[in-house]
Amino acid sequence: MIGIFAALGRELKSIKACLPDLDEFQESGVRFSVGHLNRLAVVLVQTGIGWNRALSAAQIAAARFPLRLYISTGFAGALQDSIRVGDLVIGQKVLSLVPLDHKVFICDPAFTRSAETAAKAFPGAVFLGSVVTVGQIIGRVEEKRAVAKKSDAIALDMETGAVADVAEQRRIPFIAVRAVSDILEEELGIDGNLFLTDQGEFRWLRGIRYLMSHPSSLSHLNRLRRQSNFAAGRLGIFFQEFLTSLSLN
């Protein structure tokens, strides 16, 4: 069985379309969607945002399912000028800056090569390199550049390191494949950390109050929504090809 982990439902939506007749349920606060493609069993795991929630969800999934491959996916922020919205990032290694600085996980070489092969049909650009996991939303250009300089990574997210940690502990292969939702030279325009608890849960009331007092932020949110939807669609294109290739082997 293949486990595909992403923080948000919208990151998994187009991947779900690749899998007919999904069995969806919730356990210990984690949402699971189980399906099959030919002979390949797949579980989609909606972890929630951030290291803590991703770590907990991956541990629950590891205890619940006989996983033979962990895949961290979803959106990523670009850390190179050449990477654009909708481009695909395939990790060769993962550098986690949480909870301990500079812990490195190596993505499984064989499955990474399989991902590269599947990505030959991808309609956008494909980049291979390091992915860095950070402990908070990084929205300002100078912050992104600082992370890029510190990590030498090509993209960042908030969950991949946690999923890699569980896979490493269980000695199960792991890879990271993400689609870019925001570019390096782009300010998010809103501090998303204001709306998240330490456990990665969204403070809806605080978010609504902020938007009411900062109406200009709506334009930034709409831009991010459009870019995220585009990136989500690109993930569906990749996983249709990748899962099909795995199901035939």
Low-confidence ranges of the chain (pLDDT < 70): 101, 189-221, 248
Is residue 216 classed as helix, strand or coil in its secondary structure?
Answer: coil
Q: Could you say which DSSP state residue 77 is in?
A: E
At residue 213, the pLDDT reads 66
Domain count, the chain: 1
The tokens 């494949």 sit on which residue? 177
* Residue-number span of the structural domain to which 108 is assigned: 2-247
At residue 179, the pLDDT reads 98
Contacts of residue 153, Cβ cutoff 8 Å, sequence gap at least 6: 79, 95, 129, 130, 131, 132, 147
At residue 21, the pLDDT reads 87
Per-residue pLDDT tens over the stretch 189-208: 666 555 555 444 555 555 55
Task: Report the predicted TM-score, pTM, of the whole model to 2 decimal places.
Answer: 0.90
Phi, psi torsion values for 177, nearest 5 degrees: -135, 120
Maximum Cα–Cα distance across the chain: 54
At residue 132, the pLDDT reads 97
Q: Distance between CA 52 and CA 212 in Å, rounded?
A: 30
Per-residue pLDDT tens over the stretch 31-81: 999 999 988 999 999 999 899 999 999 999 999 999 999 999 999 999 999
Q: Distance between CA 44 and CA 18 in Å, rounded?
A: 11
At residue 139, the pLDDT reads 82
Is residue 42 classed as helix, strand or coil in its secondary structure?
Answer: strand
The CATH number covering residue 167 comes to 3.40.50.1580
